[in-house]
Structure 1
C-alpha cells in the first residue's frame, strides 16, 4: 500500500516527538566527536550557516586519503531554498532536505586521473619528489585509470566518495553541526535537474545544519560479530 504524503509527514512528526533535545559537544577530541556524531534528521529551519563555515568543513574533508591521491571528490553545495525545494521530491521528500542549512551532494569524478599531472607536479614544485618520479606515477596512473571500464571507474569514486563523506560528517560534528547521509534519492533525476556533467557520478547527499532534535541513540552490532582475524 502506497504511503500518502500526509501519512509520511505525520510519521515524521511522530518520530520528531520521540527524539530528544540536541546535545552540546563537550570537546573536539576525535574520540568524542566520533562517539557523539549521529544521523540527525530534524533541523532548525530558521538557522543558516555561513558559507565560510561550510567551506571550512569542506577544507577539512578534502584532507582525506584517496586512491592514488587523485582526489576524485567534487561537491555541489545546495543552500538556495528554492533549489532545496526542487531537490525535495528527488530525495524521497525527506524533510531534512529543506530544513537543513545546506545539502551537500558528494560527487565522484570518473576522469579524475586527468589531473594527475597537476597533482604530482605540485609535489615536484615543493621538492617532495623528483621530476622522474612524477613522470613514472603519472604514466602509471594514466595507463591504469584510463583503461578502466565505466563500472570500474564508478566503483573507485564511490569508495573515495565514501571516505571523504565520512570525514566531512566528522568535521561538521567537531564544529558543532550535525549531518545525515542520504542514499535514498533518484540519481537519474538528480543528474538531470542539476545538470551534472557525464564524468560526475552522485555518491550521496549529506544534509548539514543545526539540529532541532537529537539523532537516535547509536545501535551497533557487537564488534565480535563484525570482526574476523586473519582468515574466515
Structure 2
C-alpha cells in the first residue's frame, strides 16, 4: 500500500511533544513524494559556515534492510520499518567542493576569500578531526529529521547500535564518513513508552 499524501501535519510543538521511539511499524510503503517532502525540510538545517556536511542514505529495498538488520545485531525495527535512513557526515566531500557552500550573493572576490579561509582552517585538521567536526553539525540535521518525520505523520527510532564499518561496506560508503544514526521510520504499529525526562531545573540554568 502506497501512502500518497500526508493526512495531517503537526505543529512543531505537537511533533516534539508526541514523538516517541517506535520499534514496530505498519507495512505501508512511504511514497517518494512524502520522502521528498521530509528531506526538503531537513535540508534547511543550519550549519556553521553553511557547510551542510550531512548526507542521507534512504533504504527501502527489503533485501538491503535485511543486511542492515544483521549489521544492527538483529534489531527487528530495521526490517519492520518501510524506510531506513542512514544519517552521516562527509566532510571530505565538503572540502572537495567548498565553492558550492559559499553564498552566491557575495562578490566573486569575497567568494574566493571565503573558500581560501575555509580551506586553510580545515587543512590544519586531520581527516578524523574533520569528520568529528562534521558530525557535530550533522547531529543538528538528525534532530530536524526526527521532528520532520513526526510532524508529517510518521514515527521513528534513532539508533547507534550497529556495526558502523559493516554498514559502510554494505552501502559502499567511504571509510572517512561518520554516522550520526540509523533511523527506521514509517507509520507506527505500536505505542512508545511515556516520556521520562529530567526536570528543567536539572538541565537549564537561568541567570
* TM-score normalised by L of structure 2: 0.90
1:161 to 138, 145, 150: 138
**Contact 1:70–1:115, Cα closer than 8 Å, also in 2:** no
Note the aligned Cα RMSD (angstroms): 1.7
**Contact 2:9–2:153, Cα closer than 8 Å, also in 1:** no
CA distance in 2, matches of 1:201, 1:106: 9
Structure 1 partner of 2:55:
74
Structure 1 partner of 2:127:
150
CA distance in 2, matches of 1:227, 1:149: 34
Q: Which has the larger radius of gyration?
A: 1
2:156 to 157, 179, 186: 179
| Structure 1: gaps spanning 5 or more residues | 1-24
* CA deviation map 1:44-102 (0-9, x unaligned): 1x211112211210111110011211111111111100110111121121111001011
Q: CA deviation at 1:214?
A: 1.9
CA distance in 2, matches of 1:107, 1:64: 14
| Structure 2: gaps spanning 5 or more residues | 1-6
Structure 2 partner of 1:34:
16
* CA deviation map 1:150-205 (0-9, x unaligned): 33212212111111111011111111001110000011111122211234222210
CA distance in 2, matches of 1:199, 1:68: 21
**Contact 1:67–1:156, Cα closer than 8 Å, also in 2:** no
CA distance in 2, matches of 1:229, 1:131: 44
CA distance in 2, matches of 1:175, 1:81: 23
User: Counterparts in 2 of 1:201-220, with a 5 A limit?
Assistant: 201-220=178-197
Kindly tell me the number of residue pairs found equivalent between the two proteins: 200
Secondary structure of the 2:188 match is coil
Runs of 4+ in 1 over 6 A off after TM superposition: none
CA distance in 2, matches of 1:97, 1:43: 10
Q: For the structure 1 residues 27 and 119, does the alpha-carbon distance in structure 2 shift closer, same or farther, using more than 3 Å as the test?
A: closer
CA distance in 1, matches of 2:91, 2:206: 34
CA distance in 1, matches of 2:206, 2:108: 41
CA distance in 1, matches of 2:142, 2:188: 19
* TM-score normalised by L of structure 1: 0.81
Q: For the structure 1 residues 152 and 229, does the alpha-carbon distance in structure 2 shift closer, same or farther, using more than 3 Å as the test?
A: farther
Q: For the structure 1 residues 26 and 225, does the alpha-carbon distance in structure 2 shift closer, same or farther, using more than 3 Å as the test?
A: farther
* CA deviation map 1:98-133 (0-9, x unaligned): 01011100111021122221221xx32xxx222222
Most deviating of 188-197 and 177-186:
188-197
Secondary structure of the 2:29 match is coil
- Pair 1:106-2:87 in alignment: yes
Q: CA deviation at 1:223?
A: 1.0
